Amino acid sequence: MVGYFDRQRVLVTGASSGIGRAFATRVAADGGDLVLVARREAVLRAQADELHARFGSSVEVIPADLSAPNAAAGVAELLAQRAITVDALVNNAGLGIHGDLADADLGAVSSQIAVNITALTELTAILLPGMITRGRGAVVNVASTAAFQPVPHMAVYAATKAYVLSFTRALWSETRGTGVQVLAVSPGATDTAFFEIAGEDASVGSRRAPEQVVEAALGALGSNRPDIVDGAANALLARIACRIPAKWAIALAERSVRPESPVSQAN
Ligand SMILES: NC(=O)c1ccc[n+]([C@@H]2O[C@H](COP(=O)([O-])OP(=O)(O)OC[C@H]3O[C@@H](n4cnc5c(N)ncnc54)[C@H](OP(=O)(O)O)[C@@H]3O)[C@@H](O)[C@H]2O)c1
């Protein structure tokens, strides 16, 4: 069976680790070519060599700090210099900081917004017109189950992911009939390096594998739906969060990231 990204050039942000790395491997295994974007150039170059050796993929590396001003424009400039056409974009790079806003470092607050929102939006805005002109392509934005309700103690992170979900759903509608697929994938707790920054307390319960998130996204692409939650239990919790009173949803979310806190605090 031909893979979804067969003979397509897919740009994956945050490709050096976790879900992005699993995405890149899957694209290569499916016969696609890649542009890998993240900060750690040596990691990306080793990964590019490995994917080329294993799958014969053509893999370009663009080291970039997506929290920097105009980072997306910088990536686009390098794509143009190398005459690379991007058929599909996976906006996966992201980070979440654990802690109350009043105690937060301002730089950490800003970098979450810059990577999770600004770079994702600008890369989409830069690459989408070409896809529409060509009448085909895909934009996959990695949101989170944190998008479905506010999350005390990770307030900025959850708000950035609510943005990603809302933005992607609207874009899904704007691009209908253009041949471009737009999808938000919302993982729940997934076993990656995410928790090295967010803190091990940032989830309770079991974690799914990055490959499962990729599988969920690929399963949903082409099915004409704007978003998918990875994992049946995560999907159920997301649906419940949208249907119960906001203060209950907030309390439940707080409990999952700050287990020691009494639920009543959020009432
Ligand atoms: N793991 C989870 O439980 C979970 C749950 C829901 C949603 N998500 C979302 O899934 C996505 C991937 O996260 P992950 O779990 O795979 O975490 P991860 O293993 O920590 O990977 C994060 C990736 O983002 C890149 N990145 C971070 N800051 C960057 C920056 N300033 N510029 C460029 N690249 C940057 C990292 O690369 P470098 O360090 O090399 O720059 C890395 O490749 C994120 O959007 C995250 O919010 C994760």
- Which of 64, 75, 60 minimizes the C-alpha distance to 9? 60
Output the CA 92–ligand 1 centroid distance in Å. 7
Question: pLDDT by residue for the chain (267 residues), tens digit each?
Answer: 567 898 999 999 999 999 999 999 999 999 999 999 999 999 999 999 999 999 999 999 999 999 999 999 999 999 999 999 999 999 999 999 999 999 999 999 999 999 999 999 999 999 999 999 999 999 999 999 999 999 999 999 999 999 999 999 999 999 999 999 999 999 999 999 998 887 777 777 789 999 999 999 999 998 999 999 999 999 999 999 999 999 999 999 998 887 565 443 332
Instruction: Evaluate: CB of 137 within 6 angstroms of ligand 1.
Output: no
Q: 199 with 98: CB under 8 angstroms?
A: yes
- Which of 85, 188, 186, 184 minimizes the C-alpha distance to 140? 184
CA of residue 146 relative to chain centroid, distance: 12
3-state SS of 213-245 is HHHHHHHHCCCCCCEEECCHHHHHHHHHHHHCC
Topology given in CATH for the domain delimited by 9-266: Rossmann fold (3.40.50)
Q: What six digits make up the tokens of 199? A: 């803190």
Spatial separation of the C-alpha atoms in residues 70 and 77, rounded to whole Å: 11
Query: What is the SS3 assignment for 11?
Result: strand
Sign (positive or negative) of CA dihedral 21, 23, 28, 32: negative
Q: Which ligand 1 atom sits nearest the alpha carbon of residue 145? A: 6
Q: What six digits make up the tokens of 224? A: 């004409």
Structural domain boundaries of the chain?
9-266
Spatial separation of the C-alpha atoms in residues 70 and 76, rounded to whole Å: 10
Spatial separation of the C-alpha atoms in residues 104 and 95, rounded to whole Å: 14
Query: What is the SS3 assignment for 5?
Result: coil
Instruction: Evaluate: CB of 32 within 6 angstroms of ligand 1.
Output: no
Other beta carbons within 10 Å of 14? 27
The protein residue with its alpha carbon nearest to ligand 1, atom 46, reads 94
